[in-house]
Structure 1
Amino acid sequence: MKKLLLSLIAVSALAFTTQAQTEKGKFMLGGNVEFKSIKENGASKSNTNFNIVPSVGYFISDNFAIGTGVGFGFAKTQAGTTALPNAATKTQEFVVAPFARYYKGINESFKFFGQLSVPMAFGNNKVTADGDNYAKISKYNNVGVALSPGFAFFPSKKFGIEFSVQGISYNNNSIKDNNGTKIGDSDKSFSIGANFFAPKIGVQFYL
């Protein structure tokens, strides 16, 4: 009887550990940071990309959270020629990405999840001929929808390491000049499928 009681206590403890990270009323804090610098052959300077989008979510029920990410993106591309060696283009954008996520437990340390997000980016494009004086030439809005599967590993009940892949996504990008006139047609794209050899890796804190 004593062994049975201890076994029941152990099972209950494991169930609590599994539930503790994603139970109703908990918060999840995370996000992503990306930096990339590539120097093309013959270019005087490197192309750079930087993105930071911290996120916060709240579990409105066990294993189901809603939240949003808010951040900033920056990209600079060298476009120099022999005549204009310092010519470059620069993109700056404000990013908002509301999401909903559902977890399905495997055991006390692993859970699958599916995330539906609506990433939106609002930015502008600038150019320079001398590398110093930038002039805005256009602005753009990018709105998308993405459904991404993944799984989380929990070394502790307040910390998770995530691996996710892109599943299904749709993007609509619209560009306008400084007068608000639309430039060309909207760039719409749809993709389905996941590259399991190129997962996204991230961390989340559960409070």
Structure 2
Amino acid sequence: MEKFLLSALVTGAIFTNAQAQIATGTTMMGGNLNYWGPTSKNDNNQAGYSSTTKNKQFEISPIVGRFIAENLAIGIDARFSFSKTNSHYPIFSSNYTFAGEYYEQIQKGRSINVGPIIRYYKFVSEKAAFYGQFSGGYTNNYISSYTSAFSNEGIYTPSTSGSTRSEGFYGQVSPGFVFFPINKLGLELYLPGLSYNRLIDKTDDSKRVDASLGANFGLRYLQMGAFFYLGRS
């Protein structure tokens, strides 16, 4: 009985406070800033080798939008992403024994996405709301790689390099949650959600079309952002 009453009170409070709105004509400005930099290492002390991979990725996503109806906004999203991966791993001989040499590979990338967004808010209290966002548009990516081999004594062998370019379009549906400490400032948590990409990949000597569908709902994909809501009273 106590649990029922508590649940009823919470539900009643939510519906009582769910009168907050974002009026037509409000302008939102802000975006998301993210950094990702994990390192993985695999040691094999018995064989006397180890492999290491270091990843760094920085992403900034400014968004400007305007509410064309109550709680409904349209706008422009421009996303810029820069990454670097440094891999260090052993070379094995034909019989799978350690050959005494290592590969070192450095891979750098950049990605640009630009396109319109549509966002709709559903308030659950005076200061909190869930939203759903659809975005889509043009994407352009570039990846370059440099690989070299060296022995335990530090002797390098000739290196190789290559690059890949791709461009096309993307579509994404993302869920999010926003908290308003004051009416004109929203602090957000959101997930990338469902995404679709159709790209034309161009390497130094080939070309192909690649289409992919992704679903990123795990907590490790959780990102943060902040927006100003100009004109909101």
Which band: TM-score by shorter chain?
0.7 to 0.9
Give yes or no for the alignment of 1:124 onto 2:142: yes
Residues 115, 134 of structure 1: alpha-carbon distance in 2 compared, 3 angstrom cutoff: farther
Amino acid paired to 2:20 = T
Structure 1 regions of 5+ residues with no counterpart? Answer: 1-13
Residues 150, 100 of structure 1: alpha-carbon distance in 2 compared, 3 angstrom cutoff: same
User: Shift of residue 112 of structure 1?
Assistant: 2.6
User: Shift of residue 120 of structure 1?
Assistant: 4.2
Q: Partners of 1:85 and 1:125 in 2: how far apart?
A: 19
Residues 189, 198 of structure 1: alpha-carbon distance in 2 compared, 3 angstrom cutoff: closer
SS at match of 2:24: coil
- In the other structure, the counterpart of 1:110 is 128
SS at match of 2:40: coil
Give yes or no for the alignment of 1:37 onto 2:37: yes
1:56-111 per-residue CA deviation (whole Å, 9 max, x = no partner) reads: 11112221111122132111111345656553111112222421011223332222
Residues 196, 126 of structure 1: alpha-carbon distance in 2 compared, 3 angstrom cutoff: closer
- In the other structure, the counterpart of 2:4 is none
Query: TM-score when scaled to structure 2?
Result: 0.66
Q: Partners of 2:84 and 2:26 in 1: how far apart?
A: 39
- In the other structure, the counterpart of 1:206 is 229
- 1:55–1:67: 8 Å Cα contact kept in structure 2? yes
Q: Partners of 2:37 and 2:124 in 1: how far apart?
A: 39
SS at match of 1:107: coil
Question: What does residue range 43-192 of structure 1 map to in structure 2 within 5 Å?
Answer: 46-81=54-89, 83=101, 86-118=104-136, 120-129=138-147, 137-141=163-167, 143-178=169-204, 181-183=206-208, 185-191=209-215
The structure that is strand-richer by fraction is 2
SS at match of 1:93: strand
Q: Which moved more, 1:65-74 or 1:157-166?
A: 157-166
User: Shift of residue 198 of structure 1?
Assistant: 5.8
Q: Cα RMSD over matched residues?
A: 3.2
Amino acid paired to 2:124 = I
SS at match of 1:71: strand
Residues 25, 121 of structure 1: alpha-carbon distance in 2 compared, 3 angstrom cutoff: same
